[in-house]
Amino acid sequence: MKIITMESKKTNICLSLVFCLAVSSQVASGSELVHQFISPSFGGNPNNSAHLLGLASAQNQFQDDGLEEQSPLDEFNERLQRSLLGRITSAVTQDIIDIDGNITPGIFDTIDYTINVIDEGNGLVTIETVDKLTGDRTVIQVQNDV
């Protein structure tokens, strides 16, 4: 039978305490945390580009609308129409705005639209555009303090 004395208990406790302190000092040591960006857009490694693009593509939930490319003739006709509408807009704008830059009240007619310019007073001007074919209306209010 082994007799445990008070001295051996103290020694065991001291040894255990020294062991715990030695182990905890090794575990507790560390270095400072350093943050590095992953995305090359924010200064990260440029080699991550392909991987991040692949992840983004895999998560993309948007569907293609199925818009077909226009033929060169359709594209030409659309550009021609936009150009003509731009010139008509410039001509109407020259009639609505006088030399001093003030908006002139009145009714201006084109083939497809009626443009009604109304002076509301206190420098407020309302411009109402009416599509003659569909009856759709667009109202724009402008402060005419030039």
pLDDT digits (tens, 9 = 90+) for 124-135: 888 899 999 999
Q: Which pLDDT does position 30 carry in this prediction?
A: 67
Range of the domain at 140: 105-146
Q: In terms of DSSP H, where are the helices of 29-121?
A: 49-59, 72-96
Instruction: Tell whether 128 is covered by a domain.
Output: yes
- Put simply, whether the predicted model's pTM sits higher than 0.85 gets the answer no
Phi first, then psi: what are they for 51, rounded to 5°? -65, -45
Instruction: Tell whether 81 is covered by a domain.
Output: no
Instruction: Tell whether 43 is covered by a domain.
Output: no
Instruction: Tell whether 46 is covered by a domain.
Output: no
Cα separation, 128 vs 124, whole angstroms: 13
- Split into its structural domains, the chain has a count of 1
Cβ neighbours, 10 Å, residue 103: 19
Instruction: Tell whether 15 is covered by a domain.
Output: no
Instruction: Tell whether 133 is covered by a domain.
Output: yes
Instruction: Tell whether 124 is covered by a domain.
Output: yes
Instruction: Tell whether 116 is covered by a domain.
Output: yes
Q: Which pLDDT does position 130 carry in this prediction?
A: 92
